[in-house]
Amino acid sequence: MFNLPLILKLFRRTAGINRKRMVMTVAAIAWGTLSIVLLLSFGEGLKRNLTKGSRGLGEGIIVVWPGATSKAFGGFPQGRNLRFLPEDADLLEANIPEIALTSAEMRKWGNTVTYGRNTLTKPVVGVEPAYGELRNQIAQAGGRFLNDKDEELKRRVAFLGNDLKKELFADKDAIGETIYINQVPFTVIGVMEKKLQMGTYGGPDANNAVVPLSTFRALFGRRYVSNLVVRATSPEVNAAVKKRLYEILGAKYRFDPSDERALSMWDTVESQKVTRNIGVGIEIFLGIVGALTLLIGGIGVANIMYAVVKHRTKEIGVQMALGARRSYVIGPLVVESLSLTAMGGIIGIVVGVGLVQILAFAQSKANSDALAFLGAPTFSLGVAFTTVALLGSIGFLAGFFPSRRAVNIQPAVALRYE
Amino acid sequence: MNLFVGKNHQKIASMDSRPAIIEMRDLRKVYDTGAVKVEALKGIDLKVEPGEFVAIVGPSGSGKSTLLNIVGCLDTPSSGSYRLDGEEVAELDVDELADIRNRKVGFVFQSFNLLPQITAYENVELPLLFHGTHSRERKARVELLFEQVGLADRMHHRPTELSGGQMQRVAIARALACEPALVLADEPTGNLDSTSGKDIMALFEDLSAKGHTLVLITHDGAVAKRTKRIVQFQDGRIVEDRPTIVAA
């Protein structure tokens, strides 16, 4: 019934469109394809950037701040402020097997940080060694993050955010240099690798000086932590871990585990989900805009195919008289429409991919925050697949409906058509 | 192998029970244009036996063309029965009708109706493609057909490079491609000058002599006279059906 080789043979023999019309149609499809490729590529770039940025804070982590109780519990009234100790991080790790890493975090604002004659006012953070991995603070080549020995020996060592390093040292190598934090000398052991960070609490990481928690406590005489950072063994157990956090800390500090306001938490798995959904939403929106543009090109093809069918009515009648089945009439017309679409599509994709490369290159060179946030347009496999699928279905439909009209013509009528 | 005596006709000698090529009983065709119903054929009984050479004549509007469309399975009757080479065609669907046209009917049109963008060879090959004939067999068949109509040297020309008479010869070759039971010609000489017209009629006489069943639709008396039987149409009815009187 469906004889593809014959249909292709018939297509080669019967196809042929006025050149000017063909150029116009192919150009319309190429334009539509180009716009969908560009829009989807920008959408993809933005989505990737959003995802990357949301990972900048740390992947799959829960940041826990002490809150104030909102329920009376165990003889205590409501409205009691809670404060956590550094040991609470170990308590959690010991009691919740689903927790993989923890770190306590202390933060102090308005410290003087001096190198040579250069003095700045910057936040200083005291943390445990796991913090680097938790919060995605990776040392640039030649340096390292804080380690267990630093913590144990209360070493006066500092890990600098990349922006802070730049302000202090400009282009000079900072590793091994001595800086003064509130007039106390510290040795720089590492500088943070530049990262895209979209979520922060207490300022971007690039701006901080990070020191061992033990050193921080000795230096500032602090007892209570600002917050705890934990990471579960896998993001799926985050909900269970959060429940357990209320239970363990509730038992120690005597608050009702169902008292939501006793702790405040930032679950980056959840916020990443939101970010991803925003990215997908933007992509869908851009895709629809592109698809509509392409559809206009498709209508152009359908229009041409209607004209072709009208123009060839008599020939179609002759073929029917000679015994052409319906598929022998529809098939070559659909192939014709598909090949017009394919021609335009290939031109559009080639030009589109070229433009995407140029724009991505320009974006990487341009020193603009807005462009950096937009991300480099990316022609991904998904973009390619969406474009080809759209082109294919538009080409098919633009050939199918006009040719259906052709086979519904009575051959006797078609033969008389002039 | 004599090309013009197809396998259908070889059976005649051996089998007397061979069905009629055309057998119509009380055939009617009504065109419903919404407001008015036009009865184009008002009860036709017609039988054409294998090997006959028939002219259907009549003034325009007498129902000739409607009859031609139904005989050629391009259209279906409103009522009555029509058997083509023993097969009832009234209840066939679109694709089955296409197959029947392909296998059993060879069309020759007044305006030749060759596809202009392909060569004469490819035009003749077309019904064989629809038929599903194997490519080697197809080539042999098309070349033989061109030899028979005397156009072997013009096979690879486009129709626009041929004269009217030559185009009609190509059309006849195309009509014979699938060894049809019936060759149906609609005013085959209508667009030709008198010399070419006579050549084409000579070719038809030759085909008839070789056993083909031919039905011609014409309003040209001179053409009709060269057939063996004349069926006269008037107002959707057959008013006369007689053997052609050969002028002494």
Residue of B nearest to A315 (CA): B115
Instruction: Test B174 with A322 for CB contact under 8 angstroms.
Output: yes
- Residues 6 or more apart whose CB falls under 8 angstroms from that of B57 comprise B64, B217, B218, B219, B221, B224, B230, B231, B232, B233
Task: Give the per-residue pLDDT at B16.
Answer: 52
pLDDT for B128-144, tens place per residue? Answer: 999 988 989 999 999 99
Q: Which of A14, A322, A415 sits opposite B130 (nearest CB)?
A: A322
Instruction: Tell me whether residues B101 and A14 touch, CB distance under 8 A.
Output: no
A13 lies within 8 A of chain B by CB: yes
**Per the CB < 8 Å rule, is B98 touching A320?**
yes
d(CA A71, CA A77): 7
Cα gap A136→B244, rounded to integer Å:
104
C-alpha Rg value of chain A to the nearest Å: 33
* Interatomic CA distance for residues A296 and B45, integer angstroms: 56
| Residue A19: burial class (beta carbons within 10 Å; 0-12, 13-18, 19+) | exposed
In the prediction, which pLDDT does B13 show? Answer: 44
Whole-number pLDDT of residue A45: 86
B130 to A328: CB separation less than 8 angstroms, yes or no: yes
CB B233 within 8 A of CB B56: yes
Note the pLDDT of residue A350.
Answer: 94
Q: Binning pLDDT at 50, 70 and 90, where does residue B55 land? A: very high
- In this predicted structure, the answer to whether residue B86 has a pLDDT above a threshold of 80 is yes
Asked if A16 and B102 come within 8 Å (Cβ–Cβ), the reply is: no
Closest approach of B15 to chain A, Cα-based (Å): 28
* Lowest pLDDT segment from A3-12, A89-98, B176-185, B218-227: A3-12
Question: How close, in Å, is residue A320 to chain B by CA atoms?
Answer: 6
Closest chain A C-alpha to B175 CA, distance in angstroms: 8
A400 to chain B nearest CA, in Å? 18
Are A121 and A110 in contact by the 8 Å Cβ rule? The answer is: yes
What Cα–Cα distance (Å) separates residue A6 from each residue in A11, A288, B121, B135?
Answer: 8, 37, 16, 11
For B:103-132, CB contacts with A below 8 A are: 103, 107, 109, 113, 115, 117-118, 122, 126-127, 129-132
Angle of helix A313-321 relative to helix A381-407, nearest 10 degrees, comes to 70
- A382 within 8 A of A339, measured Cβ to Cβ: no
Q: How far is A406 from chain B (nearest CA, A)?
A: 13
Per-residue pLDDT of chain A (418 residues; tens, 9 = 90+): 467 888 888 887 777 777 888 888 899 899 999 998 999 888 888 888 888 888 888 888 999 999 999 999 989 999 999 999 999 999 999 999 999 999 999 999 999 999 999 999 999 999 999 999 999 999 999 999 999 999 999 999 999 999 999 999 999 999 999 999 999 999 999 999 988 888 888 889 999 999 999 999 999 999 999 999 999 999 889 999 999 999 999 999 999 999 999 999 999 888 888 888 888 898 899 889 988 888 888 888 888 888 888 888 888 889 999 999 988 888 888 998 899 899 999 999 999 999 988 888 887 777 777 777 777 888 888 888 888 898 899 889 988 888 888 788 788 888 877 7
pLDDT at site A149: 95
Residue A2's pLDDT is 63
First-to-final CA distance of chain A = 31
Could you tell me which chain B residue has the CA closest to the CA of A320? B98
Q: Which residues of A touch B72 (CB under 8 A)?
A: 321
Q: Which of B74, B103, B132 sits opposite A321 (nearest CB)?
A: B74
Interhelix angle A326-365/B94-104, rounded to 10 degrees, is: 120
pLDDT of res. B7 = 47
State which residue of chain A sits closest to B100, comparing Cα positions.
Answer: A323
- In DSSP notation, B133-154 reads --HHHHHHHHHHHHHHTT-GGG
Q: Which of B84, B117, B158 to mutate to test the interface with A (most CBs of A within 10 A)?
A: B117
How many angstroms away from the CA of B229 is the closest CA of chain A? Answer: 25
Q: What pLDDT sits at residue B31?
A: 87
Determine the Cα–Cα distance for residues A149 and A291; give it in Å rounded to an integer.
59
**What is the arithmetic mean of pLDDT over B117-133?**
92
Predicted pLDDT at B5: 45
Chain B residue with the nearest C-alpha to that of A8: B129
| Interface contact B95-A325, CB threshold 8 A | yes
Comparing alpha-carbon positions, the chain A residue that sits nearest to B122 is A13
Asked if residues A231 and A60 have their Cβ atoms less than 8 Å apart, the reply is yes
At residue B24, does pLDDT exceed 50? Answer: yes
Within 8 A of B131 by CB-CB distance, chain A residues are: 323
pLDDT in tens, B6-23: 444 444 444 456 788 999
CB contacts of A318 in chain B (<8 Å) are 109, 113, 115
pLDDT band at B171 (very low <50, low <70, confident <90, very high): very high
What radius of gyration do chain B's Cα atoms show? Answer: 18
